[in-house]
Structure 1
Amino acid sequence: MVTSDNQIVEDIDCVEEIVKRDPSFVPKRYILTENDASKDMELPLLSAEVPVIDLALLSQGREEELNKLDEACKSWGFFLVINHGMDEGVLEDMKTAASDFFKLPLEDKMRYPFDPLAIEGYGRPYPVTEDQTVDWSDSLMFRLFPVRGRKLELWPGKPAELRGAIEAYSAEVGTVGKKLLGSLSLIMGMESNELPELHKEMQISMRVNYYPVCCEPEKVMGMSPHSDATTITILLQDNDVNGLQIRHDGGWVPVKPVPNSLIVNVGDVLEIWSNGRYKSIEHRAITNGTQARISYASFVTPQMEVEVEPLKQMLDDSQQHKLYKKVTYEDYLRQNLQSKLEGKSYLANYAS
């Protein structure tokens, strides 16, 4: 919808549609206010210090690599993963098919509207109030595992290659997720099967985030600062477009794409289970004025009925106090999805 003076009406939820209709215009509801804009500085020199974990060595139980994982989860909450074993062709097929979906006409994309109960489909996964600044991004979400939980009617039929690409990618990312949970079990003082068993049945959903170009990128936010309501999140980035930033040392550290690598971050659930030893870290996505960016976030979580609370083996010998209250994962997730993205404020509700 366009007004007589060529101003785009501000109730359009598809950012790509806004850009197509008038690439020189940013609706007011997307522009950051003084309260929205973070005053923390960017720390690009720290990008080279983001930990790198070799999953092949980790899967062999190498003590040195396990120690690196432990330190990465404590000090950063984020790390790059190399030698993950995912087929490079599968990764590229996923990127190509997803990119082609976002290029479709709006009416084709709107045939698969976001279902807040299934947490699948195309649209905005978080609520937006009238007085809230809206993120400069579009999203497409799928439930990957368990397979029986998928709502295939919300999986786009166009482009024709997309469903096959998702199937192939989900199998690969599921294997990586299991390996990482096994290694996390070991550094948490458990047998390798114990953390996966705490999940009852590992759940994985995926959100493909599309960040269109913006004529005034410094005035918008691709995705607001937040932590993830997950055990871990496994992220695939475009190889040549920067955008992800993580909070570290009081500033924002850009996580530069490394070809054929993954990015993994600690989620709120792992912070609770570890009694705060491992911290879920705020992260955000910025935009640019020259090139669209797509990221592929796979969220590894417990089954809905699982009760999450600090594990006994993670309590310090000198301090047996649990930092977080018990909560079912379903309650945590549903209430989180009903809140706007705002740092780690939601996790603070469960501090004991």
Structure 2
Amino acid sequence: MVVQSPVAVSTRKTRAVAVGIPSVDLSLDRSMVSDLIIQASQNYGFFKVINHGVPRVTISRLEDEGVGFFDRPAPDLQHAEPAGSFGYGSRNIGLNGDKGELEYLLLPTDPFYVVETSKTISNEPQNFSGAANGYIKAVRELASEVLDLAAEGLRVHDKYVFSKLIKDAQNDSVLRFNHYPPLKTTKPKPCKDEDNDDEVGFGEHSDPQILTILRSNNVAGLQISLPDGLWIPVPPDPSQFYVIIGDALRVLTNGRFTSVRHRAIANSSRVSRISIMYFGAPPLNATISPLPELVSPGNPSLFKPFTWGDYKKAAYSSRLGDCRLDHFKASFNQ
């Protein structure tokens, strides 16, 4: 069943007393779960999964390794900053001037690469690689199960049409740790009608991949945007996972699913916030286009076909907040 978790919300644009985050219990009847995933994906592009089957020890082992990594002295962290887009980073998000109050560690999900890079990440690389590879395997299976349930709910012919993309041997999935240390100084709050760009943890964006599996420790900070533009906080739940629909899945479903826009505010608590994201992505040469079953004369294709590699290049060359799918939308002669 979908359980709405009430939260109080107040923004400078809109106010709401109680807004719920969908929570899907994976232990229920399969057809019921499938329908609930469809509802949440259409209405929110975001939901929590409970009774997910991932052992608590798998989660805690990787979080402990992540905490241990970010607790290391700054010179040691720089050793995990190889050339290219993977490795350690701080404040600078991408190559386009986007900044946030965080530091992060980005890794591919290939188990052999994890083993090799663990030598620069941890003083006990076998512990780190074992924890990371065990976690990646578990959340990839969780992501695949959610995608299969979604395909069943959409009544498409091949229920593995989505999950086989992230299970492909050449998949482009990544694992990311975000660490939001407490703000060192207390800055004056902005005026009522002003934004404070200096206190952004991670700016507004949608995930370009197919699906994101996210979890964090028990420190708040994540917010999602509703279709009407209202930003609502997501209550942290360290024992559960949140599912975020990505741009690629929005295209594959011909716009039926929403790729939710989300952000993280700067950490004003006294405790560090750490979140771990598995970004499930297809191979670079995979073609992304609406499934034929979801296209009809009355519901024409909303997007032109493109490869994941092309879209990834467009996504990472744009600034946070840009609408990257505009370039790939189909045009219609009226």
TM over 0.5: yes
The aligned amino acid for 2:41 is C
The answer to whether the aligner puts 1:256 opposite 2:256 as a matched pair is no
Structure whose residues are more often strand by fraction: 2
Query: In structure 2, which of residues 117, 123, 126 is the aligned counterpart of residue 153 of structure 1?
Result: 117
> Is the alpha carbon distance of 1:181 and 1:86 closer, same or farther for their aligned partners in structure 2, counting shifts above 3 Å?
same
Kindly state the Cα deviation for residue 162 of structure 1 after the two structures are TM-superposed.
2.2
Kindly state the Cα deviation for residue 69 of structure 1 after the two structures are TM-superposed.
0.7
Provide the residue aligned with 1:137 in structure 2: 102
Write out aligned runs for 1:182-331 (5 A): 182-190=148-156, 191-198=158-165, 201=168, 202-214=171-183, 215-216=185-186, 219=196, 220-238=199-217, 240-248=218-226, 249-289=228-268, 290-316=270-296, 318-319=298-299, 321-331=300-310
Structure 1 portions without partners, runs of 5+: 1-37
> Is the alpha carbon distance of 1:311 and 1:81 closer, same or farther for their aligned partners in structure 2, counting shifts above 3 Å?
same
| Alpha-carbon distance between aligned partners in 2 of 1:210 and 1:193, rounded to the nearest angstrom | 34
Kindly state the Cα deviation for residue 195 of structure 1 after the two structures are TM-superposed.
2.2
Kindly state the Cα deviation for residue 151 of structure 1 after the two structures are TM-superposed.
7.8
Confirm or deny: 8 A CA contact 2:225 2:262 kept in the other structure.
yes
Runs in 1 of length 4+ with deviation above 3 angstroms? 38-44, 147-151, 153-157, 197-200, 216-219
Query: In structure 2, which of residues 142, 145, 159 is the aligned counterpart of residue 179 of structure 1?
Result: 145
TM-score using structure 1 length: 0.79
Confirm or deny: 8 A CA contact 1:126 1:341 kept in the other structure.
no
Kindly state the Cα deviation for residue 311 of structure 1 after the two structures are TM-superposed.
1.3
Query: In structure 2, which of residues 72, 79, 93 is the aligned counterpart of residue 104 of structure 1?
Result: 72
The aligned amino acid for 1:162 is F
| Alpha-carbon distance between aligned partners in 1 of 2:250 and 2:320, rounded to the nearest angstrom | 18
Kindly state the Cα deviation for residue 306 of structure 1 after the two structures are TM-superposed.
0.3
| Alpha-carbon distance between aligned partners in 1 of 2:109 and 2:96, rounded to the nearest angstrom | 26
Confirm or deny: 8 A CA contact 1:121 1:154 kept in the other structure.
no
Structure 2 portions without partners, runs of 5+: 1-10, 190-195
Write out aligned runs for 1:38-57 (5 A): 40-41=13-14, 43=16, 45-46=18-19, 49-57=20-28
Kindly state the Cα deviation for residue 188 of structure 1 after the two structures are TM-superposed.
2.5
Provide the residue aligned with 1:89 in structure 2: 57
TM-score using structure 2 length: 0.83
Kindly state the Cα deviation for residue 338 of structure 1 after the two structures are TM-superposed.
2.1
Kindly state the Cα deviation for residue 216 of structure 1 after the two structures are TM-superposed.
3.8
Provide the residue aligned with 2:43 in structure 1: 75
Aligned residues: 301
| Alpha-carbon distance between aligned partners in 2 of 1:156 and 1:90, rounded to the nearest angstrom | 22
